[in-house]
Amino acid sequence: QKEVEQNSGPLSVPEGAIASLNCTYSDRGSQSFFWYRQYSGKSPELIMSIYSNGDKEDGRFTAQLNKASQYVSLLIRDSQPSDSATYLCAVNGLNTGGFKTIFGAGTRLFVKA
């Protein structure tokens, strides 16, 4: 089992729709959870972090965490063509010493105009 698993996609949604990206992780001791966005040919950039169960909203982005199910998700409301990118789920946990981040392979998102 991979430590951080994501559906590779591509996920295609029309402009204005909600894009839902999902991620599961294997380390029950994981404490910090992140979503990075990576445009083609560019480096990853942090867009959301979440540390406790529930929802965290930032503009059009909502991160959801369920530690019991070892599940993290990212919702993008009112999706725009500029949201087309690969989204990497990332996890820090006790097994990684708290300062090493394990990344998933990423989900490619296409937003059609």
Using CB under 8 A as the criterion, which residues of the chain lie in contact with another protein when the complex forms? 4, 8, 32, 34, 36, 42-46, 49, 88, 92, 99-101, 103-106
Q: Which residues pair with 53 in a beta bridge?
A: none
Task: Kindly state the smallest distance separating residue 66's Cβ from another protein, in Å.
Answer: 19
Based on its alpha-carbon atoms, the radius of gyration of the chain, rounded to whole angstroms, reads 13
Number of Cβ atoms within 10 Å of the Cβ of 98: 13
Give whichever of 15 and 45 is closer to another protein, judged by the CB atom. 45
Task: Kindly state the smallest distance separating residue 45's Cβ from another protein, in Å.
Answer: 7
Q: Which helix (H) or strand (E) holds 79?
A: none
Q: Which residues pair with 58 in a beta bridge?
A: 61
Q: Is 56 helix (H, G, I), strand (E, B) or coil?
A: strand
Give whichever of 15 and 58 is closer to another protein, judged by the CB atom. 58
Task: Kindly state the smallest distance separating residue 111's Cβ from another protein, in Å.
Answer: 20
